[in-house]
Structure 1
């Protein structure tokens, strides 16, 4: 087991949910009550984040999760409203990680940072298709942006039986690398199956992160360059749990076992800027 993988598992073993309250192995991420109703599995989804500067996300498409995530030893408190997730008036969603002076009460002490985590649970799920986001990543030690999906049956079967598809993860100490991974029963956490993609500094400009997802096959790409394909043959005789509905998640975590904590070189605020999210 590599050092990276031995730390990395803690990021994924986190959502054991009831639909209205996302339980995080010792912490609780509270989600909007509208999530209690199951989402209809639809063929397409799109958000170009067009709207006035200072406005919040479209509530018919996204819900906020609020709280902390002690299981991963993350340092942020996820907030609701526009404090940390706002439209910039130029067609972007901006998720901002801020260093706070006072902090909120977290499971492990005072949260030094705030950020945001959004999902489509109860609003949109997909079971196949092209899932894509164009984003500009934050930079700096301790930053941990992610674009990912969880099986919509997580409330009944739990994680990792529901399945998790990490379309893009980045940790600040690897500014030129993003990761794509799947997690399921028998291949979760450090046993998650994935690959890195090395490119330019992903904080310098926008890049497109995507999967092409069909029955028994997922292909990851960055800027149209396919770099990884996974099928049931890759899961070592375990169950392939990716042929059902999944919802979409965007978040910017601060700290955690995989990225490590921010240090004196980390400048705040940091931003995950999202141009669009499309599913077709």
Structure 2
């Protein structure tokens, strides 16, 4: 386990690092998750093993610190991640990023382009999402006020998301979980989709085949983003179909 101070208050991001050849690969989890749990099998897969790999946890999640004063906007997450990667000497990294982590990775690549050489987004959020009371995920969490969420709304979320997601969600600070969900639902200006279209690095977007065509896929493809459906999986592609996921990531990173 490695770590880096990423705020002026001394808060640390931590990651599990696997040694190997450069360029580094950085795996970034989604809301309420943790990268070692979601990406260990991927990083060790025969198609992908051998590169220096950082399975990193965003501030407020997993094994990273849980400051209650951090605002957890997508921009703040991206800047904190940039501090960690700079400290780790992981410039020009290949990012593989899931869900909210994909949103953060897009913002990171736009704000700190020297840190990212390739981007693989895994069913990532590209657009704002209206808050929806009772929904599973960020839109449901964002429907609470912070006071409501901290006072007991988190228990309702726990019961909605089920034991697998809660097993990692419970590791997140409650302020971090709430604020990250709110800002993920709110998105960025320009939107993550617009930022993604304007990037000039190789970009791939992986999505579950069964959910149907990706909204705005033609415009993304025209902008140079490879949109790749993966069969036999849901939102957690790397857990549901690890071999197909590893194969698609390897192709996106130029290994096949």
Return the TM-score normalized by structure 2.
0.27
**Greater relative contact order (Cα < 8 A, sep 6+):** 1
Which protein has the bigger strand share?
1
